[in-house]
Amino acid sequence: MSTLPFCCNFARGDTKALLSFINSNCYFTSPMPSILTPFARPVYIMTKPVGALCNLACTYCYYTEKSKLYPDISRHVMSDELLEKFVREYIEMQTQPEVLFTWHGGETLMRPLSFYRRVVELQRKYAAGHRIDNAIQTNGTLLTEEWCKFFKEEGWLVGISLDGPQEFHDEYRRSKSGKPSFRQVMTGVNLLNRFEVEWNALAVVNDYNADYPLEFYHFFKDIGCHYIQFTPVVERYYSHPDGRQLASPMEGTEERLAEFSVTPEQWGDFLCTLFDEWVRQDVGEYYIQLFDSTLANWMNVAPGVCTLAETCGHAAVMEFNGDVYSCDHFVFPEYKLGNIHHQTLLEMMYSDRQKQFGAGKLKQLPTQCRNCAYLFACHGECPRNRFMTTADGEPGLNYLCTGYRKFFEHVAPYMDFMKHQLKHEQAPARVMDWIRRGMPAYE
C-alpha cells in the first residue's frame, strides 16, 4: 500500500497520479484510497467484532446503547464460525482487486489479539488473489507494544478517536466511572508513532469544542497527525421501550436535541476558520477529509466521505451476531437488512430495501435543497440529520444546513481556483501562492 499522500504529491507539483485517479473517476486526493475513501467502493461492510462493548462511556456515543437491541445474548462477541463465513463471503462478493475490511466498535481492542491474528489467517486463506487491506477504529486506550507490532507487521491502518487537546477530549470521553481518558489515549498514540504504525484521527466536533477550531487543529499538527476527520455530532433523544434513548431518523423532534450536539452556526464557523488556516499554509501537508471531499465534489468526482455523496447504500454494517444494517448510523430495527446466517451478504447489499435506502438520499431532498446553489457539494448531507422543516414547511431539511451553506459560500473562490489548477494539470497546493499574491484573476 502506498503511504505517500496524494496531497503531498500536489505540493511537489506531481499531479499525474491524481489526474489518473480523477480520469478513472474513482477517488480524489486520498492518500490511502482504499482506506480513507471506502465509500467509493462498490460494496463495503463495516464489522463490529464486539458489538457495542466498550471500556469507555463517552457521553455522545451513538453506539453504546445498541447492546440493548440484544438483551437475550449474554456474550456480544463474534464467533469463529461467523468470522470465517463473513471473511469468505465478503471477499467473494468484491468485484475489484482490493478488499477493505474495517473493524469497528464498541472498542475493537476488547477482542484479544488472537482474534485479529485469526482474521489475517482467514483473509489469507480466502484472498484468492485479492489484495486485502485492514482498518481498525479504536479509542486507543488499550494499545500495547504487542498490538502496535501486529499493526505494523500486517500494515493495518489505525483510526484513533481523539477529540483534540486534553480539556476538549476529557469533557466527554470518559470511563464508566467518570475517569478521563486523554492520557491513556496519548500513551497509545505515542506507541503507534514509536512503532511507525499508520494512523489517523477521528475527532468529534461538539458543543464544547466547536468554538475552538484552531486550538483543535494545532493540537493535531503538534502531535504529527496529518490525516484528520472532523465529524459533527448531532443526536436527538427519544425513549424506546428497550431503554435506548437516541432517536432514529424517523423518530423524535428537533426540540429534543441532545445538549452535546454542535449547532449549525458553530459547525459553519468551525469549518470556515479551519479552512482559512489550511488553505493558506497546509494544502498538501495536512489532509482534512471534508475539505478533500468538497474539492472532489467541485470536480464532479465521487467524494471520500459518504455524507457529501449524492446517494448512499454502499456502506453497511454487520453486528457481532451477523445482523446487517443499512449503515453504521442506522442501526435501528427498522433498518435491519437481515442476518448473514439466513441471507448472503450479496443478497442483503443488493436488496430492494438497501437500494431504496441508498437512493432515498437523493429522492427525499426537499425543494430547498433541489434549488440550492450548493447542492452539488452538499447533497443534503447525511439523511440522519434531516429532521428540520424548510421555511415553506417541507420536511427533510438537514439540521446543519446553515452551517454547510456558510462553509460552501466561504470556500467557493478557493475551490474554484483549485479546480482550475487540477483541470490544467497543476497542483491545487498552488492556491497558497495565489492567496499570497492577492488572489489575482486567472483565465
Interface residues with ligand SF4 (CB under 6 A) are 306-307, 312, 315, 327, 329-330, 361, 368-369, 372, 374-375, 378, 380-384, 398, 401, 404-405
In whole angstroms, how close is the CB of 90 to ligand SF4 at the nearest point? 18
Q: Select 236 or 384, whichever has its Cβ closest to ligand SF4.
A: 384
Q: Select 77 or 312, whichever has its Cβ closest to ligand SF4.
A: 312
Sign of the Cα pseudo-torsion (247, 251, 252, 254, in order): positive
In whole angstroms, how close is the CB of 23 to ligand SF4 at the nearest point? 26
Dmax (CA) of the chain: 66
DSSP of 74-88: S-----HHHHHHHHH
Task: Select which of 14, 80, 328, 392 is catalytic.
Answer: 328
Q: Select 382 or 429, whichever has its Cβ closest to ligand SF4.
A: 382
Q: Select 20 or 356, whichever has its Cβ closest to ligand SF4.
A: 356
Residues pairing with 160 in the sheet:
138, 201
Say how many C-beta atoms besides its own lie within 10 A of residue 71's C-beta: 9
In whole angstroms, how close is the CB of 329 to ligand SF4 at the nearest point? 4
Q: Do residues 202 and 162 touch, judged by C-beta distance below 8 A?
A: yes
Cα 385–388–390 angle (5° rounding)? 130
* 94 vs 43: CA distance, rounded Å: 7
In whole angstroms, how close is the CB of 40 to ligand SF4 at the nearest point? 12
How is residue 355 written as a grid cell? 437500494
In whole angstroms, how close is the CB of 183 to ligand SF4 at the nearest point? 31
Q: Select 29 or 398, whichever has its Cβ closest to ligand SF4.
A: 398
Q: Select 226 or 405, whichever has its Cβ closest to ligand SF4.
A: 405
**Cα separation values, 28 from 18, 254, 286, 291, 423, Å:** 7, 35, 15, 11, 13
Q: At 123, which amino acid appears?
A: Q
Q: Do residues 422 and 18 touch, judged by C-beta distance below 8 A?
A: yes
Q: Select 23 or 371, whichever has its Cβ closest to ligand SF4.
A: 371
In whole angstroms, how close is the CB of 161 to ligand SF4 at the nearest point? 16
Q: Do residues 386 and 254 touch, judged by C-beta distance below 8 A?
A: no
Whether the link from the prior residue into 106 is cis, omega within 30° of 0, is yes
* 398 vs 268: CA distance, rounded Å: 13
How is residue 411 written as a grid cell? 470556500
Q: Select 274 or 382, whichever has its Cβ closest to ligand SF4.
A: 382
How is residue 250 written as a grid cell? 424517523
SS3 290: helix
State in Å, rounded, how far the first CA of the chain is from the last one: 38
**Closest Cα to residue 332, out of 317, 348, 322?**
317
In whole angstroms, how close is the CB of 327 to ligand SF4 at the nearest point? 3
In whole angstroms, how close is the CB of 346 to ligand SF4 at the nearest point? 19
Q: Select 189 or 306, whichever has its Cβ closest to ligand SF4.
A: 306
In whole angstroms, how close is the CB of 251 to ligand SF4 at the nearest point? 15
Q: Do residues 101 and 317 touch, judged by C-beta distance below 8 A?
A: no
Specify whether 392 is catalytic: no
**Closest Cα to residue 307, out of 18, 37, 62?**
37
DSSP of 223-289: TT--EEEEEE---BB---TTS--BPPTTS--GGGB-TTSPPHHHHHHHHHHHHHHHHHHTTTT-EEH
Catalytic residues: 328
